[in-house]
Amino acid sequence: MGDPIQAVTSAEQIMRTAQALREAAREATITPQTVLEVLEQWSGALGSGELREIPGVTFLRLWLRRGTLEPILTRELGSEALDGGWREEGRAKLRAFPVGVVGHWPAGNVEIQPILSLTCALLGGNSCIVRVPTGLVDATRTLMGKLQEVERGGMLTERISMVSFDHSRSDLHEAMARAVDGAMIWGGAEAVRYVRALPFPDWARVLAFGPRVSVAAMEAGAWGGRAERAAWCRRIARDVWQFEQQACSSPQALFIERSAMSDPKEFVEDLAQTFREENRIHSRREIEPATTAAICRARASWLLNDVANTARFPVSPDWTILLGEGSEMPKPTQGRTLSVLVTDDLFEVVGRFDGGVQTLGLAMEDAQKEEAIAQAAARQGVDRIVKLGQMHVFCSPWDGTDLARPMMRMVRHVPSCEAKAELQNGRCAAVSGSAGAKG
């Protein structure tokens, strides 16, 4: 069993890799059902103890299960697509085919993202070239090793090429772009702009998931009641801790509606206790010096900027809660730093959103009010409105678009045999009609 990640040093290596992937796909087609079966086995193999240290691996196991992926395929492509069949549409037939070789440029801040990205393309029968960011090589190698263990025939692994090269090698980025028929791009603004400008073929499908932020909001009744508060605090902590608050779906701010019956400081004390417990169970393995410095600056500036502001945090930079008032989205700090802002009107908060807000996590008691909030948020560009505790549930659609279908071609076939038969029948009818008229 070889190294699943290939160190690339030349454009020729990438071109040869792409050609090998195309040849493997031509030799044997693969149905979505087959892909689902292998991914289900892969999910089971990720339960071993040595993988627990990889952030997000528990979520990845859930994502790879058939129960998660099959409904996505059915919704996006129709039930006929599971077995690679055609769908009738009048006199025509429709069927989804892969675009070919899909290149993946995952961001470097989420350990499981190379796997998440490639599975979206694999579901459609594509082959994949994945550029693994340097900081994710070890985690990706471990995860891919489990796939190699469970897939005996290699039908899926022969369609995957994981490559690693320095981000400054523009010649290798360009070679990879020229070699693919589709691309899935993830990351910050500069990275996304750079990759999108690469020389992709004119026919290539390009799907980009750029930088966005996410927000949480709670109705007064949701955070004010002590009975339900503990459960909501656990959900908030779960969303903050996942992916070290670096994912686009991570809540950076929590807006709580002002309550005449409850004190926000009491709520923050309960939230701080939950953060302490979450930190005990899921303590940070390491932290970048730049993140530590950003957390220290955020704590100091918050307390100095307004005497009414308060904060809760330990001596270490493990977590931070900043409490204040307002309706504007604060600048994100990340590193498990949550701004809790008391507001008089959640609709005013939502009205300030722009297209940069991806996910809105909600805790509401009034169903009609939640529906109105969701409608308002959707109009302001928010693509995902979910219950607190589920902000990171990776599902289709994501950022307002399907995940598998963009890397598929919907082929339309109008059978010529049927058309010929209809033409012949029409001619016969015309001849008979003419003969009858002469008679």
pLDDT digits (tens, 9 = 90+) for 69-103: 999 999 998 887 888 888 888 999 998 899 999 99
Mean pLDDT value of segment 295-306: 97
Give the largest CA-CA distance in the chain. 106
pLDDT of res. 426: 52
pLDDT of res. 428: 41
pLDDT of res. 425: 56
Mean pLDDT value of segment 43-64: 89
Q: What domains are there in the chain, each with its CATH number?
A: 5-210+399-413 (3.40.605.10), 213-387 (3.40.309.10)
pLDDT of res. 424: 54
String of DSSP letters for 111-123: TTHHHHHHHHHHT
The residue assigned the tokens 């990845």 is 60
Give the dihedral of Cα atoms 412, 157, 51, 338; nearest 10 deg: -30
pLDDT of res. 418: 63
pLDDT of res. 435: 45
Give the dihedral of Cα atoms 369, 370, 373, 375; nearest 10 deg: -110
Q: Which sign, positive or negative, has the C-alpha torsion 51, 56, 61, 64?
A: negative
Q: Residue 7 above 50 pLDDT?
A: yes
Instruction: Please give the DSSP secondary-structure letter assigned to residue 329.
Output: P
Mean pLDDT value of segment 165-191: 96
Q: Residue 430 above 70 pLDDT?
A: no
What is the tally of helices (H) and strands (E) in the chain?
15, 16
- Global pTM reads 0.87
Per-residue pLDDT of 406-421, as tens digits, reads 999 999 999 988 655 4
Per-residue pLDDT of 269-281, as tens digits, reads 999 999 999 999 9
Mean pLDDT value of segment 13-17: 96
Neighbouring CB atoms inside 10 A of 53's CB total 11
